[in-house]
């Protein structure tokens, strides 16, 4: 007999059961208790003129309807090591995704559309990757072997990504410990997805084939904040080469998370490092929830082999229970199926992530595998706006529901229903095993993830028969090694020794301003903290407010500092000049001075103004407050004094004059 | 012994021996570049002797330079297993029986992930495992006739293939598929067009342009298209079945005598030249583009004419070709020469005496055009007329490769120049046509607005 359930209550109860707390309440002890482990795969585009395996330009993007031609392909799973197709891969193939590539002649040749074998590897990109391999302290291979890594989602028209290991076994130093690097590879970037609706997925090929490095860490990070720190470190490190691309999508992280008893789940394409803590935190608890669900199911279902879903087609009379918002689906001939999930009572509404329950896992898979657009499911453990709530009682009777069973209704085009049912069945069966092997994607800053696709099997790598191995000689490594940038940890140590505030570090690393900072400090006579904050505070601030009229070369700041020092201007003038320089990078210093209305004055000239001001203050002020007078006079003199004498000197002059 | 060190030689081989390890050893290598752990893979014979290839646990392969290696320690041994599993090809009495002949090209294959070796799938069971859709179309049986690369297909193979096809037809097969490498598929297609005449069933040649081990390969779809063509089409001719556009949309059936591989790597490389293709083919449908083809019949009659004279040459003329090119052929006892001439079918004057000598030596000389499209017109200029006087026979709009195959086939039957001439100029199946249709020459040029518009809307 099917019984109603207070699902809101259940959500709260299950959330508590797994011990979920918000990220800000997460402690090292909590993560230790979960057995939290996290590893990163950091992808970073390299700044090269051309793509990795063809001579098309890199870094030119097409937008919207801007394309010259379309090509349609389908990805067919190839046989695995055992000669079997991966179950889900085959299911996905049966539902048949039409993959459309929108190509632009400017950025695509026959290589992009897999109509010609690769051209020789871009040497410029290889050199940069060897530089990064050295910074990561990896052992560099003697010979680069181009390998094919299979992808069936269509993101690469060949169906595989060409990739090669440059170095293995390195490390990066975090504040408290070293994090091991498994490998550094060089690879081609994939297509950009335009849309993925029902059976049609559309990509553009502009980004495809751009050179990329992928740095893979060991799962050595044991708290979300460590994961964030490691991601930052690797980003700073790649930026320190000055040879990587910046901007949206130029650096992307895949974050692998597991907990004790769970599975390595890969969260793909995280484009903001600051999202990592929430994502990893929530994923740890999602795994915890799935492990709890497994325990409950194990308790309830003794013989998993005999477990199966039961289903019926809803007839036209029953379809009256479908609410108006789905009427168009009925009219377009969609089939509605009632599904019994034996033993899944209180599971469908089991908390998995903030705002999500186990039923979300079913819905997300229906979208990806069976191509059913959301909403695609209603179930007995929610207040569905789509199906009359009372109807589940009738359905429960029809499907002979027991006390522990749950019900769902799914709908879709007739040809997709078989896959949809199989998808539900498969995901429920996976629940008996705990955490499925899958890749997920982050949807927002709150750290929520959705199912992306099933993780391909381990046997997805094979040699690229189209390319010969490339020897990496010692001479090459040594040549590149001679010009390595200094290490991030060294840079931070140095900046601390210069008393530069720590809150400037991130910006200085991201824009790779350390070499400029170091050179300025070495060559010129400004206090290090002045230059540090000029860059890490003022420049950062300007960047958020002003758009330069042409590309801003940070080395212009050195020129500015040098000019002011040579001319004997006081350092605060630099701060007045910088905004103008930033906005008009090609303006010469003299013109900047005119723009800000600066006039050169001798110290004596400024002092000579003093009696006049003294008198003026006496006229306008009622009370003779000495400090107030000083401040007033300083205020009048400062605009004239800036650049001519220091604030300290000015203060002394005023002080002296008042005595 | 050599098997233990597959592909290794010189320094690399010595190193393997020195540390007593072999191919498939799971090893730990200490080198001046760092430590590496993985399985030693076979090395390609063409690569140098300065590196060992390791497969790391992550699945990637890397090379380690021999000079940097200080020590190798064997930790285990894991030999790759090359077996390809089979699934029984389902038989259903209502489906047509189709025979697939293999010649060596891989239309379906399985990859050995450890070595990257491509293992051809060929038996019905293997093919069913790779392309299960085939079972929805036909009952398939297969026979591997030879295992040669496309470029090594020649007269011997043409004859065996023709005879084998003849035997199958006599047994009452419903259609024939020939799996073939793409490079010389059009040569074999024209050979079969001449050697297998009056077939009651479709004879469909198929291959793949992108290796069948990749998810985006054209192999499976080509195979499905060819099975459909062999099973349901009523075109009882020798045809080539390959991609129409580069997109996964439809295949084209090209007449075996008018088809040519036109791009070194494109999927849609095969084009009908100087005419339009026979039909379009999808998974479940044939859409004929013309109706002047030989129709399928229910009898088992076929003429097998497996003849070929190997001493025939195809000479691609270029300005400044020296007469000794032809003299050499005379000297070596050649019996026939097909020239791919410039423009309407020309060669330069200095060759004339050599052509006369060839004629005197009894060599049959036929003229085709290297423009591929269009007819030989030797009456237009005096030079053409001069050549004809010297015995050079124009072959209308026969493609150079087709003329080569046909001349070999004709000379295989007779030495009599008149009979050879008759055979050459009497079309068997469209190798020469009465005229060229207006839409038989469509080579679009990109950049032109209307062409760009077309390309944006339709798939090339």
Taking only the tens place, the pLDDT of each residue in A383-436 is: 888 888 888 989 999 999 999 999 999 999 999 999 999 999 999 999 999 999
What count of CB pairs under 8 Å joins A to B? 171
User: How many Å apart are CA B244 and CA B232, to the nearest integer?
Assistant: 19
pLDDT at B116: 56
Select from A462, A468, A473, A477 the residue whose CB has the most chain B CBs within 10 Å, as the one to mutate to test that interface: A462
User: How many Å apart are CA B292 and CA B5, to the nearest integer?
Assistant: 59
Give the closest-approach CA distance of A30 to chain B in angstroms.
31
Q: Is the dihedral of CA B135, B138, B141, B143 positive or negative?
A: negative
Q: Which residues contact A518 (CB under 8 A, 6 or more apart)?
A: A494
Instruction: Please tell me whether residue A265 adopts helix, strand or coil conformation.
Output: strand
Q: Which of B63, B84, B459 sits opposite A72 (nearest CB)?
A: B459
Instruction: Please tell me whether residue A67 adopts helix, strand or coil conformation.
Output: coil
| End-to-end Cα spacing for chain A | 97
Residues of A in contact with B115 (CB under 8 A): 463
Task: Calculate the CA dihedral of residues B428, B432, B433, B435 and round it to 10 degrees.
Answer: -170
Residues of A in contact with B448 (CB under 8 A): none
Taking only residues 441 to 470 of chain A, the set having a beta carbon closer than 8 angstroms to any beta carbon of chain B reads 458-465, 468-469
Phi and psi angles of residue B76, each rounded to the nearest 5 degrees, phi first: 180, -175
Select from B48, B216, B458 the residue whose CB has the most chain A CBs within 10 Å, as the one to mutate to test that interface: B216
Taking only residues 164 to 193 of chain A, the set having a beta carbon closer than 8 angstroms to any beta carbon of chain B reads 164-165, 167-169, 182-183, 185
For B37, which residue in chain A has the nearest alpha carbon? A168
A610-634 b/e (C-beta count within 10 Å ≥ 16 → b):
beebeeebeeeeeeeeeeebbebbb
Question: Which of the pair, B57 or B256, is modelled with greater confidence?
Answer: B256
Residues of B in contact with A463 (CB under 8 A): 61, 115-116
State the Cα angle at A587 between A581 and A589, rounded to 5°. 75
Residue A456: is its pLDDT beyond 70? no
What are the residue numbers of the active site of B? 106, 182-183, 261
pLDDT at A411: 95
Q: Are A321 and A449 in contact (CB under 8 A)?
A: no
Q: Rounded to whole angstroms, what are the CA distances from B167 to A449, B161, B171?
A: 62, 10, 6
User: How many Å apart are CA B322 and CA B327, to the nearest integer?
Assistant: 9
Instruction: Please tell me whether residue A37 adopts helix, strand or coil conformation.
Output: strand
In this prediction, residues A356-381 reach a mean pLDDT of: 94
Q: Are B401 and B260 in contact (CB under 8 A)?
A: yes
pTM of the model: 0.90
Q: Which residues contact A21 (CB under 8 A, 6 or more apart)?
A: A30
Which pLDDT band holds residue A459 (cuts at 50, 70, 90)? low
- The torsion region of residue B396 among left (phi > 0), alpha (psi -120 to 50) and beta comes to left
With DSSP H G I counted as helix, E B as strand and the rest as coil, what are the percentages for chain B, rounded to 5?
Answer: 30, 25, 45
Residue A201: is its pLDDT beyond 70? yes
Q: Which of B113, B267, B460 sits opposite A461 (nearest CB)?
A: B113
pLDDT, tens digit (0-9, with 9 covering 90-100), for A81-128 = 444 555 556 666 766 889 999 999 999 999 999 999 999 999 999 999
pLDDT at A460: 73
Q: Are B381 and B367 in contact (CB under 8 A)?
A: no
pLDDT, tens digit (0-9, with 9 covering 90-100), for A238-292 = 999 999 999 888 999 999 999 999 999 999 989 899 999 999 999 999 999 999 9
Q: How many CB atoms lie within 10 A of CB A496?
A: 12
Q: DSSP assignment, residue A345?
A: T
In this prediction, residues A154-174 reach a mean pLDDT of: 95
Which pLDDT band holds residue A320 (cuts at 50, 70, 90)? confident
Residues of B in contact with A143 (CB under 8 A): 51, 53, 62-65
**Which residues are registered as beta bridge partners of B109?**
B120
Q: Are A347 and A295 in contact (CB under 8 A)?
A: no
pLDDT at B59: 84
- Reading the block at residue A102, the tokens are 């929108």
Phi and psi angles of residue A178, each rounded to the nearest 5 degrees, phi first: -90, 145
pLDDT, tens digit (0-9, with 9 covering 90-100), for A573-606 = 999 999 999 999 999 999 999 888 888 888 788 7
Give the closest-approach CA distance of B377 to chain A in angstroms.
36
Residues of B in contact with A64 (CB under 8 A): none
Give the closest-approach CA distance of A468 to chain B in angstroms.
8
- Reading the block at residue A259, the tokens are 């907990």
Least confident interval from A182-191, A369-378, B44-53, B120-129: B120-129
In this prediction, residues A337-345 reach a mean pLDDT of: 95
């Amino acid at each position: 007999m099917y019984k109603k359930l207070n699902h809101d209550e259940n959500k709260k109860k299950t959330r508590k059961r797994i011990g979920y707390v918000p990220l800000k309440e997460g402690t090292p002890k909590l993560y230790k208790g979960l057995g939290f482990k996290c590893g990163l795969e950091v992808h970073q585009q390299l700044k090269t003129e051309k793509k990795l395996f063809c001579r098309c330009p890199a870094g030119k993007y097409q937008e919207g309807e801007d394309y010259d031609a379309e090509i349609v392909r389908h990805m067919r799973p190839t046989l695995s090591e055992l000669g079997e197709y991966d179950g889900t891969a085959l299911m996905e193939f049966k539902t048949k995704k039409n993959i459309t590539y929108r190509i632009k002649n400017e950025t695509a040749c026959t290589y992009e559309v897999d109509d010609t074998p690769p051209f020789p590897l871009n040497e410029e990109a290889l050199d940069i990757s060897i530089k990064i391999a050295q910074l990561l302290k990896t052992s560099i291979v003697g010979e680069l072997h181009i390998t094919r890594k299979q992808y069936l989602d269509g993101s690469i028209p060949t169906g595989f990504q060409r990739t090669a290991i440059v170095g293995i076994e390195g490390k990066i130093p975090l504040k408290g410990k070293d994090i091991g690097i498994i490998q550094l590879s060089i690879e081609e970037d994939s297509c950009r997805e335009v849309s993925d609706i029902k059976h049609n997925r559309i990509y553009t090929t502009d980004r495809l084939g751009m050179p990329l490095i992928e740095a893979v860490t060991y799962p050595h990070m044991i708290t979300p904040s460590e994961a964030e720190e490691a991601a930052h470190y690797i980003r700073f490190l790649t930026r320190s080469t000055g040879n990587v691309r910046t901007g949206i999508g130029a650096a992307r992280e895949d974050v692998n998370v597991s907990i004790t008893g769970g599975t390595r789940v890969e969260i793909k394409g995280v484009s903001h490092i600051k999202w990592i803590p929430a994502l990893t935190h929530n994923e740890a608890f999602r795994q915890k929830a799935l492990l709890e669900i497994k325990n409950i199911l194990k308790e309830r279902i003794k013989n998993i082999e005999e477990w199966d879903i039961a289903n019926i087609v809803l007839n036209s009379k029953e379809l009256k229970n479908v609410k108006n918002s789905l009427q168009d689906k009925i009219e377009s001939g969609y089939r509605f199926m009632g599904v019994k999930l034996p033993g899944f009572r209180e599971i469908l509404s089991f908390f998995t992530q903030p705002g999500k329950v186990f039923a979300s896992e079913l819905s997300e898979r229906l979208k990806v595998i069976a191509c059913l657009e959301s909403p695609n499911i209603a179930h007995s453990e929610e207040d569905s706006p789509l199906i009359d709530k009372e109807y589940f009682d009738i359905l429960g009777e029809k499907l002979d529901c027991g006390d522990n069973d749950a019900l769902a209704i799914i709908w879709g085009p007739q040809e997709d229903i078989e896959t949809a049912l199989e998808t539900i069945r498969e995901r429920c069966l996976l629940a008996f095993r705990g955490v499925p092997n899958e890749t997920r994607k982050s949807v927002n800053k709150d750290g929520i993830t959705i199912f992306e696709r099933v993780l391909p099997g381990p046997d997805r790598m094979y040699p690229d028969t189209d390319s010969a191995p490339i020897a990496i000689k010692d001479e090459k490594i040594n040549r590149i090694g001679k010009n390595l940038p200094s290490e991030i940890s060294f840079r931070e140590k140095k900046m601390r020794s210069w008393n530069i505030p720590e809150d400037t570090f991130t910006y200085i690393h991201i824009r790779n301003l350390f070499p400029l900072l170091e050179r300025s400090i070495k060559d010129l006579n400004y206090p290090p903290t002045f230059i540090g904050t000029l860059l890490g505070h003022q420049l950062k601030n300007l960047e958020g407010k002003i758009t330069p009229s042409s590309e801003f070369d940070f080395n212009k700041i050195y020129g500015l500092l040098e000019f002011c020092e040579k001319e004997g201007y006081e350092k605060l003038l630099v701060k007045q000049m910088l905004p103008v320089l930033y906005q008009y990078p090609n303006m010469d210093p003299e013109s900047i001075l005119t723009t800000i209305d600066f006039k050169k004055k001798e110290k004596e000239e400024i002092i000579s103004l003093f009696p006049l001001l003294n008198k003026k203050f006496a006229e306008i002020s009622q009370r003779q407050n000495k400090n107030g007078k000083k401040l007033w006079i300083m205020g009048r003199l400062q605009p004239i004094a800036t650049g001519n004498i220091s604030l300290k000197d000015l203060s002394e002059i005023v002080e002296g004059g008042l005595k | 012994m050599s098997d233990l060190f597959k592909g290794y030689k010189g320094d690399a081989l010595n190193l393997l021996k020195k540390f007593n390890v072999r191919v498939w050893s799971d090893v730990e290598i200490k080198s001046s570049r760092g430590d590496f752990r993985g399985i030693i893979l076979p090395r390609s014979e063409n690569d140098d002797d300065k590196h060992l290839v390791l497969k790391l646990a992550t699945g990637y392969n890397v090379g380690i330079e021999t000079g940097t290696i200080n020590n190798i320690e064997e930790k285990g041994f894991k030999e790759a297993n090359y077996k390809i599993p089979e699934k029984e090809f389902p038989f259903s009495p209502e489906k047509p029986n189709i025979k697939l002949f293999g010649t060596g090209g891989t239309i379906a294959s399985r990859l050995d992930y450890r070595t990257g070796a491509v293992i051809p799938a060929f038996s019905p069971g293997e093919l069913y495992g790779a392309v299960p859709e085939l079972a929805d179309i036909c009952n398939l049986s297969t026979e591997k006739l030879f295992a040669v690369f496309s470029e090594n297909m020649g007269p011997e193979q043409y004859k065996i293939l023709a005879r084998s096809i003849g035997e199958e037809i006599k047994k009452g097969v419903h259609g024939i598929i020939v799996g073939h490498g793409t490079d010389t598929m059009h040569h074999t297609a024209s050979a079969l067009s001449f050697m297998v005449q009056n077939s009651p069933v479709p004879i469909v040649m198929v291959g793949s342009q992108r290796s069948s081990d990749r998810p985006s390969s054209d192999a499976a779809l080509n195979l499905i298209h060819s099975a459909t063509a062999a099973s349901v089409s009523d075109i009882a001719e020798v045809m080539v079945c390959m991609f129409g556009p580069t997109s996964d949309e439809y295949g084209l059936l090209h007449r075996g005598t008018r088809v040519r591989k036109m791009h070194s790597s494109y999927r849609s490389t095969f084009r009908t030249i100087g005419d339009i293709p026979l039909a379009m083919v999808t998974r479940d449908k044939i859409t004929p583009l013309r109706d002047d083809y030989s129709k399928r019949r229910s009898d088992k009659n076929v003429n097998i004419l497996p003849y070929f004279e190997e001493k025939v040459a195809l000479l691609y003329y270029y300005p400044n070709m020296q007469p000794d090119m032809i003299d050499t052929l005379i000297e070596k006892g050649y019996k026939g020469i097909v020239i791919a001439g410039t423009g309407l079918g020309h060669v330069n004057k200095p060759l004339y005496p050599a052509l006369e000598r060839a004629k005197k030596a009894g060599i049959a000389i036929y003229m085709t055009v290297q423009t591929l499209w269009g007819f030989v017109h030797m009456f237009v200029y005096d030079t053409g007329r001069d050549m004809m006087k010297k015995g050079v026979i124009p072959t209308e709009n026969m493609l150079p490769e087709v003329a080569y195959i046909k001349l070999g086939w004709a000379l295989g039957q007779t030495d009599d120049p008149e009979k050879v001439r008759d055979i050459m100029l009497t079309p068997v199946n469209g190798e020469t046509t009465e005229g060229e249709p207006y839409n038989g020459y469509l080579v679009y040029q990109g950049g032109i607005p209307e062409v760009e518009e077309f390309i944006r809307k339709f798939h090339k």
